[in-house]
């Protein structure tokens, strides 16, 4: 007798999670800066042979460790910080060596890119980024004009699609339902 898919136990070890990842994937890492990072999963990823990753993250120690290990091909982020240490040192060293490509965008643009992906949209319009160097350092970004009478111009923030997302939650059940209990969800 087979078990219905909605009753199958989805409990996995960090190693089992990482076994589902492969080199060249785009992965999102939840949390914000140094807060609520899925570090057990990041450490399991570091013990694996997975490399050549595009990482989408409000960066913190996750990005620093992956950068130091040479696992990142491209990083999409609004920042990489340890909070009290404004710029994560391993990230900084890797960037100074030119170890990976960087797409640095505004925090609001990052959030809108995640929302666009979650809603299966190709982009979402956002005011953030207009009048700043974001458009200059990201020449692939485009603008759109409102179809309504105001004719306002917006950045067309593309969806930040990923193959897998690693998140840290306070509790989860065997069916794969997760719950975060804190007051600061940081856009996970």
Question: Which architecture characterizes domain 11-169 according to CATH?
Answer: 3-Layer(aba) Sandwich (3.40)
pLDDT surpasses 90 at 81: yes
Residues in the chain, overall count: 188
For helices 61-68 and 39-47, angle between their N-to-C axes, nearest 10 degrees: 10
Residue 22 pLDDT class (50, 70, 90 cuts): very high
Q: Say which residue the tokens 């997302």 belong to.
A: 165
The pTM assigned to this predicted structure is 0.91
146-180 residue pLDDT tens? 999 999 999 999 999 999 999 998 899 999 998 88
Domain ranges of the chain: 11-169
CA distance 99 to 77: 15
Q: For residue 80, what is the DSSP state?
A: B
37-68 residue pLDDT tens? 999 999 999 999 999 999 999 999 999 999 99
């Amino acid at each position: 007798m087979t078990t219905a898919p909605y009753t199958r136990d989805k409990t996995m070890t960090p190693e089992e999670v990482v076994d589902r990842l492969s080199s060249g994937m785009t992965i999102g890492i939840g949390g914000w800066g140094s807060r609520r990072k899925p570090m057990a999963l990041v450490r399991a990823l570091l013990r694996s042979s997975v490399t050549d990753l595009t990482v989408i993250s409000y960066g913190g120690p996750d990005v620093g460790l992956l950068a130091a290990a040479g696992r990142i091909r491209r990083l999409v982020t609004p920042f990489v910080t340890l909070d009290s240490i404004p710029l994560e040192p391993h990230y900084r060293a890797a960037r100074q060596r030119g170890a990976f490509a960087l797409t640095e965008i505004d925090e609001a643009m990052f959030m809108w890119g995640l929302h666009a992906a979650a809603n299966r949209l190709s982009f979402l319009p956002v005011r953030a980024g207009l009048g700043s160097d974001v458009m200059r350092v990201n020449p692939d970004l485009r603008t759109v004009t409102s179809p309504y009478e105001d004719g306002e111009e917006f950045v067309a923030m593309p969806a930040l699609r990923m193959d897998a997302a690693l998140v840290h939650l306070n509790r989860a059940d065997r069916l794969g339902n997760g719950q975060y209990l804190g007051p600061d969800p940081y856009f996970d």
